[in-house]
Amino acid sequence: MRAFITGAGGGIGGAIKELYLHRGYEIVAPRSSELDLSDMDAIHRWFSTHRAEFDVIIHCAGYNRPQPAAETSLEDFMKTQYVNYISLLEIVKANDSYFKEHGGYIVGIGSLYATITREGRAAYACSKHALVGLVKTLALEYGPYNVLCNTVSPGFVNTQMFQHNNSEAKRAELAAKTAINRLAEPEDVARAVYFLGNPENTFISGQDLIVDGAFMAGSYQSIRR
């Protein structure tokens, strides 16, 4: 079994890669220096010289530059869209013949901002909403070929980037807003991805699995002391 993973250099993507390796998969995970997901021509060139025969495609790469909507340039807005979901479409198109002959799995890594949003996230929220819509459409179109397509939308994950962008106090505040009273670890997300993206999943498709420790279910509540 072969798996193609974008964003494997990050905390969540790295955990996904390690789990699939542990399960015996052959992994193809080009770094951003090898494959620029903001450049559709670069994607086409990459696949013109690499074998597009993947049983699993996992799109974990993401771009997020928070800015007020009125200050977001069209260039930056479109880069967010290209990296976060349009590139996945191009990757799937490259693998189209293999999927139609062999079946397989597509898992996109969404976000809570695929359902909700906040100030400064216009480009990012648009891209994650679109990613969920794209994957649900792929579920319909590839279902007859036994390709199961889903998204996994993490809440707040204890990655190095998250630690860098949030103080210890802010991390504790967000952890307290989950029912489980902790942040997610990258491995929590990886296990959800593998649950949907392996042959033991025989009928779950077209879903967005939110992995947030019930943050969204009770985020209106005051922080537990």
Active site residues: 124
Find out whether 192 and 209 touch, Cβ atoms under 8 Å: yes
Sequence-distant (6+) residues with CB within 8 A of 134 are 85, 88, 89, 108
Closest CA to 61 of 95, 92, 93, 38: 38
Length of the chain: 225
User: Rounded to whole angstroms, how far apart are CA atoms 189 and 166?
Assistant: 20
In what helix (H) or strand (E) does residue 208 lie, and over which residues does it extend? strand 208-211
Find out whether 12 and 187 touch, Cβ atoms under 8 Å: no
Closest CA to 196 of 59, 41, 80: 59
User: Rounded to whole angstroms, how far apart are CA atoms 46 and 4?
Assistant: 13
How is residue 55 annotated by DSSP? S
